[in-house]
Chain A
Amino acid sequence: DTAVSQTPKYLVTQMGNDKSIKCEQNLGHDTMYWYKQDSKKFLKIMFSYNNKELIINETVPNRFSPKSPDKAHLNLHINSLELGDSAVYFCASSQEFLAGGTGELFFGEGSRLTVL
């Protein structure tokens, strides 16, 4: 029973297209994230939601739009894809210390996006 699941696992698309990645967690966590891992394996936070509210929005082009319909789901929509968007996108969830959690991030297996 996967704790954090994201789909699709692979996306291959042309420049200029729009794509979405979906994420679901069954851990009952309040906080969900999107991280981007580039070709050098550098992990950078993009967004964080707590109980459906956006709480972290790093310097990300506004072509990237996250949406959290409920606290168990966090989706990422990317408009007008560019070559530089090619990366692995990880969804994660956690329960914050202040909410009685450990702060441990639980990651999905990633969605590898290739823009041609």
Chain B
Amino acid sequence: QQQVKQSPQSLIVQKGGISIINCAYENTAFDYFPWYQQFPGKGPALLIAIRPDVSEKKEGRFTISFNKSAKQFSLHIMDSQPGDSATYFCAASSPGGGNKLTFGTGTQLKVEL
């Protein structure tokens, strides 16, 4: 059972454009929603995270938008750069349960010059 659905699977954006990746979840007990960034040959690394008490969080060019009623959240990358080319994973976890993160299926982003 895929509890976190992520789309699109791949995305090509021109340099300077906006990259948008969407995720939807089913488990209403989820209360922590991070995004991880993975470069080839490396492990994923935390990019930005949000809790459901806010609808938006911004860190530099990266913004998470969160819609609790729709059970959806998205990552927006403003002014996308070639260095942003990576695989992005959304994830979610619920209180307790050993900090278990359920990951989305990943989005391969390519930013072209």
B100/A56 in contact, CB under 8 A:
yes
Nearest Cβ on chain A to B57's Cβ, whole angstroms = 14
Cβ 8 A contact of A103, one of B32, B87, B108: B32
Within 79-116 of A, Cβ neighbours of B (below 8 Å) are at 90, 92, 94, 96-98, 103-110
Q: A41-B38, A103-B99 are in contact. List 12 more A-B contacts (CB 8 A).
A: A31-B98, A40-B105, A40-B106, A42-B103, A42-B106, A45-B100, A50-B98, A90-B43, A105-B46, A107-B43, A107-B45, A108-B43
Q: Any chain B CB within 8 A of the CB of A43?
A: yes
Q: A41-B106, A43-B89, A43-B106 are in contact. Are A105 and B98 (CB under 8 A)?
A: no
Q: Any chain A CB within 8 A of the CB of B97?
A: yes
A contact residues around B93 at 8 Å (CB): 103
A105/B100 in contact, CB under 8 A:
no
A48/B99 in contact, CB under 8 A:
yes
Nearest Cβ on chain A to B35's Cβ, whole angstroms = 12
A contact residues around B98 at 8 Å (CB): 31, 48, 50, 55-56, 96
Q: Any chain A CB within 8 A of the CB of B42?
A: yes
| The 5 nearest A-B residue pairs measured at CB | A107-B43, A55-B98, A43-B103, A41-B106, A96-B99
Contact-size category for B: 20 to 34
Within 39-58 of A, Cβ neighbours of B (below 8 Å) are at 40-45, 48, 50, 55-56
Contact-size category for A: 20 to 34
B100/A48 in contact, CB under 8 A:
yes
Pull 14 A–B residue pairs with CB atoms less than 8 Å apart, ordered by A.
Answer: A41-B87, A43-B106, A45-B100, A45-B102, A48-B98, A48-B99, A48-B100, A96-B99, A97-B99, A103-B34, A103-B93, A104-B49, A105-B46, A107-B45
**Complex: A49 Cα to B94 Cα, angstroms:** 17
Q: Any chain A CB within 8 A of the CB of B78?
A: no
Q: A104-B46, A108-B43 are in contact. Are A56 and B101 (CB under 8 A)?
A: no
**Complex: A105 Cα to B37 Cα, angstroms:** 12
Which residue on chain A has the smallest CB distance to residue B45?
A107
B43/A31 in contact, CB under 8 A:
no
